[in-house]
Structure 1
C-alpha cells in the first residue's frame, strides 16, 4: 500500500521492530465482507480499513453491480460518510468515500457523493429518492474511535441481504489489483459524472419526514424543554433541522459534544446504548436548563436513546424495548386519528426483530393491525418492509431492541433523526395532558399487558465452547434432536431453532423465518408467558441472551413479574450455560 505513505511507514516500523504478531494481525487474513458490509480498525494490511482495502472492496462491488444491473451507467450510486478519522494511518471516512467515488467514476458510473458529512439514513433515503442502483455509507456507527466501516444498500433502499454478500465477496477477490484510475481522486472529483446531492436530499428528506408531524399547533406552543446530544458525531445540525420541520422548539445542544470530533474526547465508548456514562453531560445541561427529557444519537445518527427525569430527581434511561413500546403506541395513535375508517387497519403493519419485545404483537392483537417479526438486524426489517410496501400495504413502524427505530417508510433502515423529531412531538403532546413518558409507558402496559425484558451476554472467544453449548441444547439429555422440555421449575412450551430450521409450533416442524447454519440461534417459549432467545453475535465474541415475560392485560403485579423473570434468567444460566460456564466471561459491569 505504498500509495499511502502513512500506512507504508507504519508497516516499515513494524518490520524494523520485528513485530511478527502485529504484522500477522494486519496481513494474515482479509476482512470478511458480510451482509453488514465491513467493519474493522483503520490501519495497514488487508485485515484493516485503509486506502487499498477500500479500493479493492469498491472494485469488487462495482463489478458485482455491473453484472446485476444493465443500466448502472444510467442510474449510478450514492456515497455518504461520517466524521471518523484516524491520523496515524491517514484514514478517514471522507478519504475512503472519495476513493470509492474514484473507482466508480473510472468505470463511467455516475456518483452522487455528499459534499459533507451526513447521517447514515440519508444514504438509503437517496437510493430510493433518486432511484439509484446502490448506496455506500462509510461509517463505524457507535464503534470505538479507531474503527471504520463500509455499509451497503441495494436498489430497494434496504441493506443488502444474502446472497449479495457472497457475490460481492467473490467479486472483491477477483479484483484485488487496483485499477490505474482508482487512486486518482483529484481527477474523479473534477469529473462531470460526480454530483453532490446534499442540498436536494436535505430539502427532500425533511419534506418527507414532515408528513409524520401531526400536532403542529401543540408543537409551536409547547413549553417542554428537551436536551439533545450527538455524542461528537454527525447528528447535531440534522436533529435541529428535524425539530424545525416539526415546528418544535430547538432542543438544547450539549456544547461539548455537538461538533463532530473523531477522538470522542468526553466518552469512553460513543455508544448511547451504554446509557448513563454517555449521558452524564446531557443530564448536567438538562438540570441547568430545567429540561425533563434527553435525546441522544449515536455518532452516525441512525439510533436514538431517550432518558427522562423522574419525580425523585433521578434520571431514567429507557431501554430499546421500552422506547419501542412508546413510539409504537404513539405512531398508531397518530395513524388512527388520521384514519378513522376502521377497515383501513387491516392494511397496516408493524415489524420488530425476533429478539425485541413482543409488545407490538400485543398492541396489534388488540387493535387489529398486523405484526410481523423478522430475523435480527434492520436489513431484514428494511427488506420485509419493502416487500409489504410493494404489495400496497402500509408499514408505519419497525424497531429493534438495540435502540433502532424506523418511524417513517421514506428510509428503510433505522433512523435516529426522524425518530428524534417524532419523539419530541410525542413528549410535547403528552406534556399538554400532564403525562410523563414513564406514566405513558405504564398506561401502555396496563392496557396491552406488561412486557418486562432482561438481556445480557457472556464473552467467549472459543468457537468450540460455543458449539458444544448449543449442541447440548439440541441433543438434550444425550438424546439426538431433542430439546429441553423444562428449565428448572419452568416448563417449555415451544422451541424454534433458526440454525437448523426447526420450529415445534409449525405443523411440519419447519421454521418460517430464514435459517442460517453459520450462526447459532434458539428461542424457547415458556408456559408462563416467558420467551428466551440465545444467539451468537455476528460482530463480537459474545453469546447473547434476550428474555421477556409477557403478561396478560390486567396482571399488574410488577414486583411479582420482575421476580418471575429474574428467576427464569437464573434458571437459564444455571441449566443451559452451566456445563461451559467456567469457560465464559460474564458481561463487564
Structure 2
C-alpha cells in the first residue's frame, strides 16, 4: 500500500513501529534494511524485527545484530543506554563524580554496520551527553577487565559489549553494579522500565565524534592492564617451580580477545609462554575455523590445538572463549588420546589447588573457619565434599555468576575470605579482585598447578583421581536439547508439575529410579523443606526443576537465559574411599537415559539434540 507516497504494510501497530524506527535510526545500513522490507511488503521479516523488544534481564541483553527492536543495533544500544543512564542517575547522587566503565570485544556485523566497538562508543556518547565520566577502553579487553575496573576505580557501574561464546551474528550488553558483580533483581526491572521511558534518542546520543573530544572521556587501558596483572600476582605461590618448569602448554583464544592477556598472565607468573594456535590467536568476528566458538563444546573447538600440541610435544591444552571469561582444559593421555575435562572436573582441580595453596600460606588452624567457596546449584557438589572434610564453608547459589559474584561481595564485606567459586559451564573465579568468572587468571593458575604436578610426576588426570579418592567420586553428565518454541518448553515443564494429569503433583519416579525430593525454583516449591518452600530465590521467568534420587543422584532441568536450550545436569557421588567408577558411570548413564525417556520423550520430536 502507498500512503502519502510512502509504502505501508496495512498493519497499524507495525506501521507505527516502522515509522518510528525510520524517524529515529541514523544508521544508514539498518534504516535501509527496514526500508527495503517495507518496499517489498515483507511482513514476516518486519514482524520478526518489531514484534517484541529485546528483554533486558539480569544477564543484560543478548541477541542477533540487525535492524529493529528485537536486535542489537545502534538505536537499541542508544535506547538501552539512555534507560540505564537514567536509572543510575536516580540510584547514585554522585554518578557525575564517580562515572562508569565500558569495554568491548572484537565482534562485528558488516551488513548491519554493527560492531562491539561502535556500540561501546555510542554507549559512551550517551553517558557523556549527561555529564557522566566514562572510562572507555580504547581497545578490546577480556570481559573480566570491566568488573575489575568497577571495583578498582570505585565506579557506579560497568558495561561490557560482548556475546561471549555465542554464534558470530550475536552481540550482547552485560551490566555490572557498583559492587563489581553483575546486576541482579530488582535492578533489571528498574533498568527495563527506564529503557521504555527513554526510547526517543537524545540529540547528543548519536554524536560519537563529539564524545571522543570530551574531557569526560578517559581511556583506562594502560592503567587497568598493569593493575589487573599486579592483582592476580597475589595468587602465584610457586614462582620458583614456575621459573624452572619444562611443561609445554598450548593455548587458544578461539578468534577472541584472550591471546595477549593469557600470554601476559603466564609472564606475570614467570611460567614459560604457552604455544599459541596461530590460526586462532588473532580476533576475528567471522570465527572461520570453528562451527561454534565455544570451548565448552569440547573436541570440535580444540582440533587445531591438539594438532599444535602433537607438533610441539605439549601435553596440556588451555582454551578461552572469545571474551576470555571462561577456561577449558584438555590433557594428553598415555593412550595418545586427549581427555577434555568437564567444567566440574576442572572445578575440582582448581578448587583443590586453591585450597592447597591457601593452606600452605595459612598456618593458623582457626583461619579456615573464615574461608568460603561457592558454586552454582547445577554444578558438582565436589566443593561441598572438600569443605566438609577440611572445615571451610561451602555455599550454593542459583545458576550464573551474577549470584556467586553478589554473594561473594556480601561475604567479603563481612570480612570473610572467598577463595574460589565456579560453575560447570567452565566458569572460574580465582580472585576476589574480579567478582565474575575470569578465564585469564584461571589460565595462569592452571599453568602453575600443571607445573607443580609435573614436579611430582603427576598428571592432571591422576590428581583428579586422587581428589576423588580423598573426597568421594563425583561423576557428572550434562547436555541439552535445542528448542526455539516457548510453548513446547512450557508444556514440557508443566507436564512435570502436573504429572499424570494431577495438578501440582511431581513424578514419584523416573523409570526404575525413585525420586526422594523435588525443588522447583520457578514456582518456589521444595519438598525437602518443612514448609515446602524453597530457600534459594525463585523466578517465574525461567524454568528450573531439581530431582533428588534415592541412589544419591541429582538431576536439574532448566532453560538457558541466553540461548534456545533446555539444559540438564546430573551427578552421582560416592563416599570417600569408594572407587568403583565403572559401576558409578553405568548407573549415571542409565539415570540419564531414563530422564531423557520419561521427562523429555513426550516432546522429543519437537526438540533438537545437542549437535555432535
For the criterion TM > 0.5, the same-fold answer is yes
Aligned to 1:224: 247
Q: Indicate which of 237, 240, 254 corresponds to 2:277.
A: 254
Q: How many residues end up aligned between the 2 structures?
A: 589
Give the 3-state SS of the residue equivalent to 2:396 in structure 1.
Answer: strand
Q: Secondary structure at the match of 2:405?
A: helix
Deviations 1:112-161 (A, max 9, x none): 11111100000000000000000000111111111111100000000001
**Match among 83, 87, 91 for residue 64 of structure 1:** 87
Mapped pair 1:563 → 2:589 = no
| Correspondence for 1:531 | 554
Query: Could you tell me how far 1:506 is from its partner in structure 2?
Result: 1.8
Q: Is it true that 1:586 corresponds to 2:609 in the alignment?
A: yes
Q: What is the deviation of 1:562?
A: 0.5
Corresponding residue number in structure 2 for 1:145? 168
Q: Give, in whole Å, the separation in 2 of the partners of 1:253 and 1:464.
A: 45
Residue 159 of structure 1 aligns with which residue? 182
For 2:512 and 2:284, the matched residues in 1 are separated by 51
Cα offset, 1:2, TM superposition? 4.4
* Structure 1 equivalent of residue 455 of structure 2: 432
Alignment match of 2:62 (pick from 16, 34, 39) = 39
Q: 2:499 aligns with which of 472, 476, 483?
A: 476
Q: Distance in 2 between matches of 1:479 and 1:143?
A: 39
**1:214 pairs with 209, 212, 237, which one?**
237
Paired with 2:470 and 2:576, the residues of 1 have a C-alpha distance of 6
Q: Which moved more, 1:255-264 or 1:459-468?
A: 459-468
Quote the Cα distance in structure 1 between the aligned partners of 2:602 and 2:65: 38
Q: What is the match of residue 447 of structure 1?
A: 470
- Corresponding residue number in structure 1 for 2:312: 289
TM-score (norm 1): 0.98
Name the CA distance, whole Å, in 2 between partners of 1:541 and 1:144. 12
Aligned to 2:383: 360
SS of 1:444's equivalent?
Answer: helix
Correspondence 1:498 to 2:521: yes
Within 2, Cα distance between the matches of 1:131 and 1:14?
Answer: 46
Q: CA deviation at 1:360?
A: 0.7
2-structure distance, mates of 1:560, 1:154: 46
Runs of 5+ unmatched residues, structure 2? 1-23
Partner of 1:5: 28
Distance 1:317 1:339 in 2: 33
Which among 360, 363, 367 is matched to residue 340 of structure 1?
363
- The residue aligned with 1:245 is 268
> 2:198 matched to 1:189?
no
> 1:105: which partner in 2?
128
Secondary structure in 2 aligned to 1:211?
A: helix
1:170 is the counterpart of 2:193: yes
Contact 2:25 2:75 (8 Å CA) reproduced: no
Deviation (angstroms), 1:550: 1.0
Q: Which residue of 1 aligns with 2:16?
A: none
Deviations 1:529-565 (A, max 9, x none): 1001111222233221111001111211111111100
Query: C-alpha displacement at 1:181, in angstroms?
Result: 0.7
Offset, 1:277: 1.6
Match of 1:74 in 2: 97
User: Helix, strand or coil: the match of 1:89?
Assistant: coil
SS in 1 for 2:81: helix
2:373 counterpart (350, 353, 356): 350
Query: Partners of 1:252 and 1:588 in 2: how far apart?
Result: 29
Aligned to 1:377: 400
> 2: CA distance between counterparts of 1:430 and 1:466?
45
Runs of 4+, deviation exceeding 6 Å: none
In 2, Cα distance between equivalents of 1:214 and 1:49: 43
C-alpha contact (below 8 Å) 2:140/2:257 kept by paired residues: yes
User: Cα deviations across residues 239-264 of structure 1 (Å, max 9, x unaligned)?
Assistant: 01101111111111111111111111
TM-score for both structures, normalised by structure 2? 0.94
CA distance, structure 2, for counterparts of residue 104 and residue 187 of structure 1: 12
Instruction: Pick the aligned partner of 2:40 from 12, 17, 29.
Output: 17
Query: Structure 1 residues 29 and 464 mapped into 2: Cα distance closer, same or farther (>3 Å)?
Result: closer
Q: Is structure 2 residue 570 aligned with structure 1 residue 547?
A: yes
User: What corresponds to 2:329 in structure 1?
Assistant: 306
Higher mean C-alpha deviation, range 69-78 or range 493-502: 493-502
Alpha carbons 2:59, 2:561 under 8 Å: kept: no
**Residues 1:320 and 2:343 are matched in the alignment:** yes
4 and 463 in structure 1: CA distance in 2 versus 1, 3 angstrom threshold: closer
Instruction: Give ranges in structure 1 of 5+ residues lacking alignment.
Output: none
Q: For residue 11 of structure 2, what is the aligned residue in structure 1? A: none
* TM-aligned CA deviation for residue 493 of structure 1: 1.9
- Distance in 1 of aligned mates of 2:215 and 2:484: 49
Kindly provide the CA deviation profile for residues 36-81 of structure 1, in whole angstroms up to 9, marking residues without a partner as x: 1111111111111111111111000000000101110010000001
Aligned partner of 1:124 in structure 2 is 147
2:42 and 2:334 map into 1 onto residues whose CA distance is 57
Distance change in 2, residues 1:91/1:468 (3 Å): closer
Give the one of 266, 274, 277 matched to 2:289: 266
CA drift of 1:458 comes to 2.3
Partner of 2:13: none
CA pair 568-15 structure 1, distance change in 2 beyond 3 A: same
Change in 2 beyond 3 A, CA 1:501/1:2: closer
Give the Cα–Cα distance (whole angstroms) in 1 for the partners of residues 210 and 448 of structure 2.
46
